[in-house]
């Protein structure tokens, strides 16, 4: 039975690390976000994300599975610990930031990526508040809030250009 728990912990760590992208030696959050962006682009290329509902499903699944994986990983680490290798939160937050965009909007995709990374790194306003939540909630929430803030900026830019 112990082997099953070891396997679950390994799977959780693999998911929480953004399928290994969080193990970058420099800027793991940025590398994790880049990996998420590449995965998002691949899903568009195979036709999986053509509908907005599919993109929203990606956000929900990434958030829920990510939260469970992060919770399993940090349960032994204690409150206030946010290991840099955990980047599935960046994946979920970036997917929120990209809602409504497609790879053909590459300029806005780049702007969304930059704003998302800036909001996440600077931890201003509601991002800082979300990060202060306990354990897995805080680890996931700050990036989700950064994603929402980025999405608001992107939608504002889109409205301003009409």
**Which whole number is the average pLDDT over 18-45?**
96
| Max CA distance (Å), the chain | 59
Count of CB atoms situated within 10 Å of the CB of 99:
18
Domain boundaries, the chain: 2-160
What is the per-residue pLDDT for 102?
Answer: 94
User: How many residues make up the chain in this entry?
Assistant: 162
pTM: 0.93
Kindly tell me if the per-residue pLDDT of 82 is higher than 90: no
Q: Does the structure show a pLDDT above 90 at 50? A: no
Give the burial string for 58-92 (b: 16+ CB within 10 Å, else e): bbeebbebbbebbbbbbeeeeeeeebebbbbbbbb
Please report which residue ranges of the chain form alpha helices under DSSP H.
Answer: 2-16, 28-45, 52-74, 88-97, 106-122, 126-131, 135-160
CA angle 150, 151, 154 (to 5 degrees): 90
Inform me whether the pLDDT recorded for 79 exceeds 60: no
How do residues 92-127 score in pLDDT, each as one tens digit? 999 999 999 999 999 999 999 999 999 999 998 999
């Amino acid at each position: 039975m112990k082997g099953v728990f070891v396997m679950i912990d390994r799977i959780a760590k693999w998911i929480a690390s953004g399928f290994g992208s969080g193990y970058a030696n420099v800027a793991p959050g940025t590398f994790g976000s880049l990996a998420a962006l590449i995965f998002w682009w691949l899903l568009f290329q195979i036709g999986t994300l053509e509908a907005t509902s599919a993109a929203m499903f990606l956000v929900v699944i990434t958030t829920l599975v990510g939260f469970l994986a992060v919770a399993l990983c940090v349960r032994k680490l204690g409150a206030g610990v946010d290991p840099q290798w955990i980047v599935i939160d960046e994946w979920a937050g970036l997917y929120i930031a990209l809602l409504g965009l497609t790879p053909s909007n590459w300029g806005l995709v780049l702007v969304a990526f930059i704003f998302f990374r800036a909001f996440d790194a600077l931890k201003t306003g509601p991002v800082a508040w979300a990060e202060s939540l306990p354990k897995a909630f805080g680890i996931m929430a700050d990036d989700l809030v950064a994603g929402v803030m980025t999405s608001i900026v992107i939608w504002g830019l889109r409205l301003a250009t009409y």
